[in-house]
Structure 1
Amino acid sequence: MPKTSKATADETIRLEGYEGHATELDTGYTVVFESYTADADLTEYFKGLPEDRCQCPHWGYVFNGKVTFKTADGDETFEAGDAYHVGPGHTPILYAGTDVVEFSPTEELNRTIEVVSKNMEAAA
């Protein structure tokens, strides 16, 4: 059975206010251990995706802090101790001091990251 941890993840991503440790499992899912060191509303980086929102579903768990997902139906905040599922059609608001682990379908996640990366590069 495949497994990963923050310490053994295949890839580390460091951006201002964010650190992620990711592994693509052979199950079609990617696991990402994320830490947020700054507050950030990431809505602008999802422009170009359908509805200008993330279309990748995520299942996660909040270890510390909180994360908010904005959807057409309203905002929902998950705090330390919460397990969550957020479906397609959301944008995240991150809060400093937050640690989460998320499980996402790899194909959908990669399509999203491609658009978000281009938007981040354009904004820099």
Structure 2
Amino acid sequence: MKINKKNIPVTMEGPGTVMRTIENLGGMSVCFNELPKGTDFTPLLNGLDNNSCHCPHWGYVLSGRLLVKYDDGKEEILSEGDVYYLPNGHTAIVQEDLKVIEFSPSKEFDEVMTHVGKKMAELS
């Protein structure tokens, strides 16, 4: 089974932001995300356990830089060409305009994105 990026539905769009997601592709959600510098997921995760993302992610950075902060206090920078695994218990801040391909378990991803959607509505 395959799908072209152009055929993955846009689930969120805004200034400098395009998020495309297809759920349940073999139990995984596949995302192509373009996010602008300064995007901070931290306030959108408030209210989840430890105020962080409980969904693991596997991905590849096409361009840009992302600061990832883990619940245990560790931090790392993801940048162009990096293949990554983010275990549960993290937040992130975009440091340079970012383009990533990401794979996440659909159940956990949906839980987090439902929460993020509610938070975005509250902050608007």
The match for 1:97 is 97
**Closer, same or farther in 2 for the Cα pair 1:22/1:72, shift >3 Å?**
same
Matched to 2:91, the amino acid is T
Q: How does 1:38-117 map to 2 (within 5 A)?
A: 38-73=37-72, 74-117=74-117
Q: Report the alpha carbon displacement of residue 7 of structure 1 after superposing the two structures with TM.
A: 0.9
Secondary structure at 1:92 match in 2: strand
**Closer, same or farther in 2 for the Cα pair 1:79/1:27, shift >3 Å?**
same
Residues 65, 98 of structure 1: 8 Å contact kept: yes
Residues 69, 92 of structure 1: 8 Å contact kept: yes
In the superposition, the TM-score normalised over structure 2's length comes to 0.90
In the superposition, the TM-score normalised over structure 1's length comes to 0.90
Q: Report the alpha carbon displacement of residue 27 of structure 1 after superposing the two structures with TM.
A: 0.7
Unmatched segments (≥5 aa) in structure 1: none
Q: Report the alpha carbon displacement of residue 69 of structure 1 after superposing the two structures with TM.
A: 1.3
Q: CA separation in 2, counterparts of 1:13 and 1:96? A: 19
Q: CA separation in 2, counterparts of 1:42 and 1:17? A: 15
Q: CA RMSD in A?
A: 1.5
Secondary structure at 1:64 match in 2: strand
Aligned residues: 123
The match for 2:21 is 22
Q: CA separation in 2, counterparts of 1:10 and 1:29? A: 15
Q: CA separation in 1, counterparts of 2:43 and 2:122? A: 11
